[in-house]
Structure 1
């Protein structure tokens, strides 16, 4: 089954540079194609002048031999503000129109995040209501929708207990999961157990690495047992075959294009 897998690149490696990144989406496509990837996961922040123009973006991908593996988006609400549910779902609806032009691509929704005071019960309930409704919208348009937990500041989804709490509220028939190895490890989880427990929810996989302290490392340089992770994910009945590499280390901050090229070479060796 490993031979059927495709390797994609997430554009957050450039996005994390903030104002230091002055390029555009075509520069990303050029760098990712040159590094030997088959596909791309791009974010709503990095889509640039292709926003709302799926036909043009499709031509740009095809010209470089790339596919759209996933489109990722987030909201200032952190998906935990009940009074912003309607506007967040309207954003999802618009985004689904774009993603639907790329058969097989997944809409990835960012991690539920605490943006204001309030009870955790209320935050989890609001996040679950949003994710379930977004998944239902995806079903209507034929686009798989999945939640991508993170370990960043104020995330609602950090520990295994957090995952268990949210997943108990989600309908797995409507909303899937994008596990991220780095974020799972930063949350102190037994990554292989977490992946095994929720294997059937997996749509695709984010691969990155950390050291024992949770600091970002280049793929293969930290504590992630990448091969063991891939072997578990490959058994998910809903896994679409995409392994998406995402790099957030200091090395990537210095030279994103070089870092993602190195990771692509590392991945070839890890799956050999």
Structure 2
């Protein structure tokens, strides 16, 4: 296993609590730093008062000894509504501009999701148009853009056939991939084959675990062969070295900060 691996934490662990989380971005930075992480992937929902203030966010990251790995964004359009492509691209440009202030930081764009009636085929075409155009914006600004497929409700990108379909429509030079072990395990018969097949698109990795029934589990407590996954990802030609842990289990819902700290300890057992 490569020694150059860096371990970050995704803020969705807190975001999934909804109104039960009363804190803000500074609480997230503190918890993630104290959990032993060196990087953070924060979402458009959790950036809070730092939105549009990259210099202030950079100072807060420095105070906590953290690097911005990626900025993750979504849209109510699910990136599948043609009339919303322009609005979605405007939002993408704003977050690209934000990420551009952090050397090496990427923009991760959420999974295409079905939010309206209409043929499924059309939604793949709309999503691909958006992702490719977003990738063009990123290239012009010097910020790598990647897609992050999900297994959540109404996702368009659930199983292997969906991955094959969207990747056939995406320009691999413009749009990277953030594979998520938990989401892949929930929809694919063979996660390792999926990772190998699209290895050249991988930019960084989301690590989480599920049990045999697809229920979220703490890292190392489910069916994910984490060492095998890391070996494939670490050999990807465009992999930037970041392993981003994201926890959605019931354990995390009870105490996010404690759960992510445990996961960081688990990763040390894997040599990262």
TM-score (norm 1): 0.99
Aligned with 1:146: secondary structure?
strand
Deviations 1:177-231 (A, max 9, x none): 0000000000033100000000000010000000000000000000000000000
State the shift of 1:2 in Å: 1.9
Q: Distance in 2 between matches of 1:116 and 1:168?
A: 23
Aligned twin of 2:115: 115
Matches within 5 A, 1:1-272: 2-271=2-271
Query: Which blocks of at least 5 consecutive residues in structure 1 are unaligned?
Result: none
Runs of 4+ in 1 over 2 A off after TM superposition: none
Question: 8 Å contact 1:227–1:271 — kept in the other structure?
Answer: no
- SS at 1:168's partner residue? helix
Distance 1:93 1:261 in 2: 33
Q: Which runs of 5+ in 2 are unaligned?
A: none
Cα displacement string for residues 135-169 of structure 1 (whole angstroms, at most 9, x for unaligned residues)? 00000000000000000000000000000000000
Q: What number of residue pairs does the alignment pair up?
A: 272
Q: Displacement, 1:271? A: 2.1
CA–CA distance in 2 between the matches of 1:171 and 1:139? 12
Question: 2:24 and 2:77 mapped to 1: Cα distance?
Answer: 26
CA distance in structure 1 between the aligned counterparts of 2:174 and 2:244, rounded to whole angstroms? 22
2-side partners of 1:188 and 1:5: how far apart?
26
- Residue by residue over 1:63-90, the C-alpha shift from the partner in whole angstroms, topping out at 9 and shown as x without a partner, is 1110000100000000000010000000
